[in-house]
Chains A and B, each alone.
Chain A
Amino acid sequence: GENVEQHPSTLSVQEGDSAVIKCTYSDSASNYFPWYKQELGKRPQLIIDIRSNVGEKKDQRIAVTLNKTAKHFSLHITETQPEDSAVYFCAAPSDTGRRALTFGSGTRLQVQP
């Protein structure tokens, strides 16, 4: 089945710096890669996703890049703000019909003011 590995597990940056979180996946047929942000006690919220027909997607301060050959994708947050502090999860389609998701183990991002 699909295996998603995420790193680092924790990341601390100064306000205004950039943050990068990386994920690798095992199934070369995977074609959809979402990123979710989860604040303490809250629901996972989709912040950006990318499908395999593009290599990069941007939404204001957030971008995701995809390298299909190497089977990895990354979340980039620029000009970080304290409200970016949360746990971020990457995901890829599970191998069971590609309808469900297999999640990474999460990255706790702390933005220091």
Chain B
Amino acid sequence: EAGVVQSPRYKIIEKKQPVAFWCNPISGHNTLYWYRQNLGQGPELLIRYENEEAVDDSQLPKDRFSAERLKGVDSTLKIQPAELGDSAVYLCASSLDSRVAGVTDTQYFGPGTRLTVL
């Protein structure tokens, strides 16, 4: 079974430029997450999708970040314009929704996109 796929793996841009990251979750996984991982820290949630609906985006900096998950499969995370502090690894994860209230489903991570903003 193929795992979560992300591209690109690395991206270097200058500040104020736009950037986009792409994620393809595990086949059949209806829940998709975007996390940001700063150097030496654990991942922090940016946004969570259930199918095509963003159900938790409270940590997404909406002035410059946007995300979409058309057709409830692949997802794109965009930053425009990028700032120096956006340098981090952007991780995508997916899980199969057990549809049981209060149950946290097992999450599987992609390899991440390492963003460097100069």
Would A43 and B43 count as touching, CB distance under 8 A?
no
Would A43 and B45 count as touching, CB distance under 8 A?
no
By a CB distance below 8 angstroms, the chain A residues around B42 are 4, 6, 89, 91, 103-106
Give the interface of A toward B (CB within 8 A): 4, 6, 29, 31-32, 34, 36, 41-46, 49, 89, 91, 93-94, 96-106
User: Please, how many angstroms separate the alpha-carbon atoms of A32 and B65 in the complex?
Assistant: 30
| Residues 65-118 (chain B) with a chain A CB within 8 angstroms | 91, 102-112, 114
User: Please, how many angstroms separate the alpha-carbon atoms of A89 and B111 in the complex?
Assistant: 16
* A89 nearest CB neighbor, chain B only: B42
Would A34 and B106 count as touching, CB distance under 8 A?
yes
User: Please, how many angstroms separate the alpha-carbon atoms of A46 and B58 in the complex?
Assistant: 25
User: Please, how many angstroms separate the alpha-carbon atoms of A97 and B105 in the complex?
Assistant: 12
Would B103 and A94 count as touching, CB distance under 8 A?
no
User: Please, how many angstroms separate the alpha-carbon atoms of A97 and B108 in the complex?
Assistant: 19
Would A98 and B41 count as touching, CB distance under 8 A?
no
Would A42 and B111 count as touching, CB distance under 8 A?
yes
By a CB distance below 8 angstroms, the chain A residues around B105 are 99
By a CB distance below 8 angstroms, the chain A residues around B108 are 46
Would B56 and A96 count as touching, CB distance under 8 A?
yes
Give the interface of B toward A (CB within 8 A): 3-4, 31, 33, 40-45, 48, 50, 55-56, 58, 91, 102-112, 114
Would B111 and A32 count as touching, CB distance under 8 A?
no
Counting from the closest, the 3 A-B pairs by CB-CB distance are: A103-B42, A32-B104, A93-B104
Would B103 and A43 count as touching, CB distance under 8 A?
no
Interface centre among A36, A44, A46, A98 (most CB of B within 10 A): A44
Would A99 and B56 count as touching, CB distance under 8 A?
yes
CB-contact partner of A99 in B4, B40, B104, B114, under 8 A: B104
What are 9 of the A-B contact pairs (CB < 8 Å)? A41-B114, A43-B111, A45-B109, A46-B107, A94-B45, A97-B55, A99-B56, A99-B104, A106-B41
By a CB distance below 8 angstroms, the chain B residues around A6 are 42
User: Please, how many angstroms separate the alpha-carbon atoms of A102 and B106 in the complex?
Assistant: 13
